[in-house]
C-alpha cells in the first residue's frame, strides 16, 4: 500500500463496501477532471455505476458522514476531502498498473551522451520533464553528500594566474571552483597537485575530516604546502555547496494555474526560497523504496494544506540519494503523478548506475 509518513490511512475506519468504494472513486475522478462538485446525476449510469439514483444519493450522504466527502456551500454536489483522496490513493488506485507515462518521455531528459557526469543539468531537465507531463510543480533534490566519496579530481590551468579545480563524486555530482593567485603558477605544480589529489583522496568522503590528514606530508616544500592549501577548499567545502540544491520545473505554469489555492502557492514558493523545511520534508523519507504521498492536511506546514505532494526516491545499490517529487492541488491526477515520479526515479537511478561505472 502506498502511504506517507504521518498519513491518515492508519486512522481510516474499516474498509468501505464495494459499492461505496465505486461511488467514492467515481466522485474523486469526476472532481479531478471537472473541478466542480459532483452530484448523483453526474455519476449515475457512468463509471460502471448502475445503482438507482436514490441509492447513489444515500451512499453519497453516507460517505459524507464518514468524512470522505464534503458538501460545499449550498451546492447539491460533493467534493472529496483529504481523507477521501487518501482512501482513493491507498485502496482504489491500481499499484504499478499500466504505464501512464509515454515510453522514453523521461529517459531523454537524462541522456547526456559523453557528458554523463553533468548530473545537475540532468536533474533540472528531469524536473522540467515531469512538470511538463503532469502540469504540476516538479521538485528534485540533488544527491545527498553524506554517502558521497571523491571519485576524480581535475586541476586545470586556465590562465597563468587562474587555476580551476573540478571534483567529481561517486554520486555523479560535479563541483567547479576557480582560484586566483597573485603570481603566475608553474604548470608543473598544477599537474603535480592533480596527481596528489587523485592518489590520496580517491574514495575519501566529501568534506571528510581525514582530508587534511591525507594531504599532510612533512616532506613537501613550503611552496607545495601553500599550493595545496589554496586548492583544498574546493574539495572540503563541496558538501556545503551541493547538499541543499533543489531543482524546480514548471514554476511559472504552476503559479499561473487558476485552479490553485493562491495562499498555498505563496506558502510553497516561500518554502522553495528557504529550501530547508522542504528539504527536511523530502529527506525525512529517504529510506523509503515506494511512492509516498502527503495529501492536504498531512503536509506539516499549515500554509500548504491546499496542496498534495507525490514523491519517489532515486539512488543506486548503496542506497537512496535524492527525491523526485510533484506538488499540486489536492485535486490532482494521482495516477499520473504516481506513475510519473515512479518512472522518473527508475530512469534516474539507472542513469546514476551508469555514472558509477
Greater confidence (313 vs 300) lies with: 313
Residue 198 has pLDDT above 90, yes or no: yes
Report all structural domains of the chain as residue ranges with CATH numbers, in order of start. Answer: 9-92 (1.10.10.10), 107-144+243-356 (3.30.450.40), 150-241 (3.30.390.60)
Cell of 159: 590562465
56, burial (CB in 10 Å: exposed 0-12, middle 13-18, buried 19+) = buried
Residue 308 has pLDDT above 50, yes or no: yes
Q: Are strands 292-295 and 307-316 parallel, antiparallel or unpaired?
A: antiparallel
Say how far apart CA 235 and CA 154 lie, in whole Å: 11
Name residue 30's beta-bridge partners: none
In eight-state DSSP terms, residue 23 is H
Confidence of residue 4 (pLDDT cuts 50, 70, 90): very low
pLDDT, tens digit (0-9, with 9 covering 90-100), for 131-147: 999 999 999 998 776 55
| pTM exceeds 0.75, yes or no | no
Cell of 238: 563541496
**Average pLDDT of 166-183?**
82
Let me know the angle formed at the C-alpha of 253 by 251 and 255, rounded to the nearest 5 degrees. Answer: 70
Q: Evaluate the CA torsion angle 277, 280, 284, 288 in order and state its sign.
A: positive
For residue 285, what are the CA distances in angstroms to 281, 291, 312? 8, 10, 9
Outline where 202-289 has alpha helix (H): 210-215, 222-231, 233-236, 238-242, 251-256, 262-274, 276-283
Amino acid at each position: 500500500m502506498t502511504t506517507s509518513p504521518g498519513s491518515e490511512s492508519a486512522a481510516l475506519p474499516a474498509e468501505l463496501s464495494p459499492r461505496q468504494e465505486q461511488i467514492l472513486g467515481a466522485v474523486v475522478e469526476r472532481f479531478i477532471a471537472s473541478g466542480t462538485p459532483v452530484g448523483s446525476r453526474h455519476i449515475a449510469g457512468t463509471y460502471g455505476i448502475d445503482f438507482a439514483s436514490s441509492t447513489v444519493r444515500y451512499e453519497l450522504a453516507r460517505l459524507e458522514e464518514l468524512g470522505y466527502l464534503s458538501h460545499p456551500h449550498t451546492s447539491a454536489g460533493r467534493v472529496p476531502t483529504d481523507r477521501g483522496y487518501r482512501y482513493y490513493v491507498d485502496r482504489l488506485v491500481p499499484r504499478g498498473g499500466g504505464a501512464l507515462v509515454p515510453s522514453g518521455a523521461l529517459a531523454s531528459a537524462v541522456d547526456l551522451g559523453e557528458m554523463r557526469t553533468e548530473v545537475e543539468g540532468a536533474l533540472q531537465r528531469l524536473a522540467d520533464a515531469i512538470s511538463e507531463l503532469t502540469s504540476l510543480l516538479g521538485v528534485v533534490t540533488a544527491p545527498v553528500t553524506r554517502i558521497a566519496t571523491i571519485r576524480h579530481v581535475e586541476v586545470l590551468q586556465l590562465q597563468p594566474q587562474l587555476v580551476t579545480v573540478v571534483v567529481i563524486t561517486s554520486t555523479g555530482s560535479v563541483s567547479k571552483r576557480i582560484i586566483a593567485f597573485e603570481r603566475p603558477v608553474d604548470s608543473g605544480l598544477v599537474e603535480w597537485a592533480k596527481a596528489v589529489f587523485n592518489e590520496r583522496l580517491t574514495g575519501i568522503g566529501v568534506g571528510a575530516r581525514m582530508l587534511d590528514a591525507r594531504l599532510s606530508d612533512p616532506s613537501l616544500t613550503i611552496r607545495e604546502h601553500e599550493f595545496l592549501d589554496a586548492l583544498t577548499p574546493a574539495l572540503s567545502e563541496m558538501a556545503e555547496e551541493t547538499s541543499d540544491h533543489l531543482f524546480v520545473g514548471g514554476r511559472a505554469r504552476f503559479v499561473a494555474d487558476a485552479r490553485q489555492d493562491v495562499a498555498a502557492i505563496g506558502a510553497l514558493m516561500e518554502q522553495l526560497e528557504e529550501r530547508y523545511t522542504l528539504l527536511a520534508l523530502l529527506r525525512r523519507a529517504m529510506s523509503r523504496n515506494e511512492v509516498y504521498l502527503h495529501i492536504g492536511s498531512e503536509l506539516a506546514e499549515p500554509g500548504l494544506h491546499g496542496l498534495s505532494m507525490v514523491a519517489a526516491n532515486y539512488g543506486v545499490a548503496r542506497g537512496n540519494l535524492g527525491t523526485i517529487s510533484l506538488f499540486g492541488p489536492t485535486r490532482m491526477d494521482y495516477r499520473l503523478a504516481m506513475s510519473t515520479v515512479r518512472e522518473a526515479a527508475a530512469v534516474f537511478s539507472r542513469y546514476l548506475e551508469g555514472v558509477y561505472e
